[in-house]
Amino acid sequence: MMKRLLAVCSAMAVCLLMATASLASGTIKIGALFAVTGPAAFLGEPEKKTLEMLVKETNSKGGINGMKLEAVIYDTGGDATKAVQLATKLVKDDKVAVIIGPSTTGESMAVIPVVEKEKIPLISCAAGIKITDPVKHWVFKTPANDHVAAEKILNYMSHHKQKSIALLTVTDGFGASGRDQIKTLARQKGFTIVADEVYGPKDTDMTAQLTKIRGIKPDAIICWGTNPGPAVITKNVKQLGIKTPLYMSHGVASKKFIELAGADAAEGVMLPAGKLAIYDVLSKNDPQFKLLKEYDHAYKKSYGSEASTFGGYAYDAFLLTSNAIKRSGSTPEQIRNGIEQASRLVSISGVFNMTAKDHNGLDLSAFEMVRIHKGDWSMIK
Amino acid sequence: MLFDQILQYCLSGLSTGAIYGLIGVGFSIIFNATGIINFAQGEFVMLGGMLTLLFLETLALPLWAAIPCAIAASMVAGLLFERLAIRPLRQPTPINLVIITIGGSILIRGLAMLAWGKDTHALPPFSGNDPISILGATILPQHIWILVVTVFIVAVNRFYFYHTISGKAMRACAYNRRAAGLVGIDVRRMVLFSFVISSALGSIAGLIVAPLTMTSYDVGIMLGLKGFCAAIIGGMSSGIATVIGGLLLGILESLGAGLISSGYKDAIAFIILLLILVIRPQGLFGKAESERV
């Protein structure tokens, strides 16, 4: 009797073991930390939706190398402390093979020590340059560095012999980082900064700063911020009748900006745009064109709204991950190596060329300079 | 050159200041009727803009119809807020009420976020977008709307509080609630009125400023704080003093940003607030109250 019981028990145990084993080899867990709520929700929400859409799509096509994907997505609320807790949870409890996110630079910097210690690859969706500079073994990021966008503007300016710059930047992380980058680059390239003004993220009127700038008569104004500030500034510039060329950052490269500022006031504003925002004016021969169109259509079909650059960051991260799994395997170590070896990987933010020295992999070609004309983008050289 | 710069700073300051003033008046009216600071006042500003947008775009009403609808809907929101959150309180100590208004503001903001999403929206200007030049400084037609509406509201307020029975009754509650109750004024109804009136004022401020500043579910926080500053400078008066407080704040902010440094713009507002609280807690124009025993 006893013996039979033992046999049944052991048989059950074996079954159970096999079940878990098959489960482990049959699914790959992808962890994600996005700021779905809170002040950075405009980043986290499209990122989450994009990842969910892609995982569903991949699984319906039979997964990667026969293995299904499972996304474990947590909302950090944009809070670095919470991001660290959730990262630990993803690693210890959910046992994910890779983490996508967080959405903001602050959170990413906070999570980095966790993933470095636990040896889990992290693909951040935040733009801050310090995430991958200096290079960390386990850390990658998909948005192009701010200084790439800044360089794009300055190159365009020197091409048009504009030498003095008035800066107007927002007092948050994005603006402060942009301000530093432009100042450093401007010094290297021989521009002079004649005004260095700032505004608060919730400010509703910037005519004071612009009046001051108008008095200084710079060759160009560069504004660095995300909506709604730049839209207010664009309206204020129109109101004050300032004719100086106005450059914006890539942070406002969406139709939303033109809608907020009004096509009339936004006429002539120039900015470096990620290619997703402007794919319909892009050359059909551009390597990214087909993918951008597919992503935009798929996103519209799933969620009824236009795909955004921010969702694109999650797309890139997913593509890097799935590409790495296909190439080298599904353990954290293999995924990390696969990401680092990605070369000429055509994605949403650009064409990625990762190396051991460059964990971002994007260059100036990630952006195109555009001018707003009649409420739409037009490419400028 | 310097003259038209200064004129521009002043004009910009006046129009933002008028908004601060309007929001401040909303704070003062409730403070006078109930003795509490309604920290949800900023959310009514947000509701003004967002509801106008709702009536304008979702329900496709023309602008002249959308605006009164939005104000009416905000008044209903103010009424519900008082009925559901303020009145049922068993021990209405000021600190409890203030905390409830903070909770209410978070709730209203959250609901707005769920209803309208997190995007920023723009309202069309009431009458065109062509700048008007005044001695080298420029303003937009919307700025004139703001100034005219502010003057109009101050006049209506003055009339209401000094020449109508219910306005006088509300002032009586402000002076002494107990005595007002004893002479037969329904104090609770006056409190309800004060919430309805100030939510209307808040929403008017929100919808006339929205074409310039855009609106989103979280515009109420900063505008509410600035309005609060204006009310403090004006000594919590529900009339002209608070509006002057707002104008002063707007002009100082704008001059500070232009002439000193734009980095200190908000700091200037809050330094003024601190100075007033320390030096003249009764407001710039108020007479010091003496405690009678």
pLDDT in tens, A8-27: 556 555 544 444 444 445 78
ipTM: 0.83
Instruction: Give the list of residues 6+ apart from residue A12 with CB closer than 8 angstroms, or none.
Output: none
What is the C-alpha separation between B228 and B197, in angstroms, rounded?
Answer: 17
- A interface mutation test: which of B12, B14, B254, B270 has the most A CBs within 10 A? B12
> What is the rounded average pLDDT for all residues in chain B?
88
Spatial separation of the C-alpha atoms in residues B209 and A351, rounded to whole Å: 43
Nearest to A256 among B119, B258, B266 (CB): B119
What's the confidence (pLDDT) of residue A13? 55
- Chain B positions touching A259 (Cβ under 8 A) are 122
Token digits for A118?
């636990």
Domain B2-160+187-271: give its CATH code.
1.10.3470
Q: Answer yes or no: is pLDDT of A97 > 60.
A: yes
pLDDT at residue A11 in the model? 56
Residue B288: the pLDDT is: 55
Residue A378 sits at φ, ψ, to 5 deg, of: -135, 140
Confidence of residue B247 (pLDDT cuts 50, 70, 90): very high
Nearest C-alpha of chain A: how many angstroms from B141?
A: 10
Q: Chain A contact for B130, CB < 8 A? A: no
Q: Which of A44-58, A301-315, B253-267 has the lowest mean pLDDT?
A: B253-267
Q: Where are the domains of chain B?
A: 2-160+187-271
pLDDT confidence of residue A18: 47
From residue B118, alpha-carbon distances to A86, B69, B218 in Å are 24, 23, 8
Q: Which residues of A touch B223 (CB under 8 A)?
A: 204
Q: Which two tokens stand for residue A29?
A: 């867990």
Following DSSP, what letter does each residue of A12-42 receive, concatenated?
HHHHHHHHHHHHHHHEEEEEEEE--SSTTHH
Query: Rounded to whole angstroms, how far apart are CA atoms A269 and A223?
Result: 10
Tokens 């519209």 correspond to A300
Phi, psi of B208 (to 5 degrees): -80, -20
Report d(CA B120, CA B211) in Å as an integer: 12
Domains identified in chain A and CATH numbers: 32-145+290-365 (3.40.50.2300), 147-281+367-379 (3.40.50.2300)
Would you give the end-to-end CA distance of chain A in angstroms?
86
**Are B46 and B56 in contact, with CB atoms under 8 Å apart?**
no
User: How sure is the predictor about B237, in pLDDT bands with cuts at 50, 70 and 90?
Assistant: confident
Of A231, A239, A262, the CB nearest to B138: A239
Distance from CA of A371 to the nearest CA of B (A): 21
- Look at residue B1 in the predicted model and tell me its pLDDT: 57
The answer to whether B193 faces chain A, any CB pair under 8 Å, is no
Confidence of residue A280 (pLDDT cuts 50, 70, 90): confident
CA-closest candidate to residue A319, choices A298, A289, A349: A349
The predicted pLDDT at position B291 comes to 44
Quote the DSSP letter at residue B215. Answer: B
Q: Is A196 exposed, middle or buried (0-12, 13-18, 19+ CB in 10 A)?
A: middle
- Judge contact between A30 and A96, C-beta under 8 A: yes
d(CA A353, CA A284): 22
Give dist(CA B289, CA B283) in Å, integer.
11
Tell me which residue of A202, A160, A199, A197 sits closest to A182, measured CA to CA: A197
- B8 part of contact set with chain A, CB < 8 Å: yes
Q: What is the pLDDT of residue B49?
A: 94
User: How many Å apart are CA A381 and CA A371, to the nearest integer?
Assistant: 10
Q: Give the Cα separation of A44 and A299 in Å (integer).
A: 15
CB pair distance less than 8 Å for A208 and B254: yes
Hey, of A48, A205, A221, A310, which one would you mutate to test binding to chain B, going by the most B CBs within 10 A of its CB?
Answer: A205
The reply to whether residue B129 touches residue A231, judged by beta carbons under 8 angstroms, is: no
Gap from A108 CA to chain B (nearest CA, Å): 23
The conformational region for residue A223 under phi > 0 = left, psi -120 to 50 = alpha, else beta, is beta
Inter-axis angle of helices A105-118 and A80-92, nearest 10? 30
What pLDDT sits at residue A39? 76
- For residue A31, the cross-strand partners are A72, A99
Indicate whether B287 pLDDT > 70: no
pLDDT at A68: 92
What are A68's strand-pairing partners?
A27
Comparing CB atoms, the residue among A198, A204, A264 nearest residue B263 is A198
The whole-angstrom separation of Cα A171 and Cα A240 is 23
Q: How far is the C-alpha of B202 from the C-alpha of B48, rounded, in Å?
A: 7
DSSP of A110-163, one letter per residue? HHHHHHHHHT--EEE----GGGTSS--TTEEE-SPPHHHHHHHHHHHHHHTT--
Which residues of chain B does A199 touch, with a Cβ-Cβ cutoff of 8 Å?
262, 265
Q: Nearest 10 degrees: CA dihedral of A74, A80, A84, A87?
A: 30
3-state helix, strand, coil in chain B (%, to 5): 75, 5, 25
The shortest C-alpha distance from B25 to chain A (Å) reads 20
Digit-coded pLDDT (tens) for A194-236: 999 999 888 888 999 999 999 999 999 999 998 789 999 999 9
Contact residues, chain B, for A212 at CB < 8 Å: 5, 257-258, 262
CA distance A2 to A175: 73
Residues of B in contact with A211 (CB under 8 A): 5, 8-9, 12, 258
DSSP per-residue string spanning A96-121: -SEEE--SSHHHHHHHHHHHHHHT--
Contact A239 B139 (CB under 8 A): yes
Q: What is the dihedral of CA A115, A116, A121, A123, to 10 degrees?
A: 80
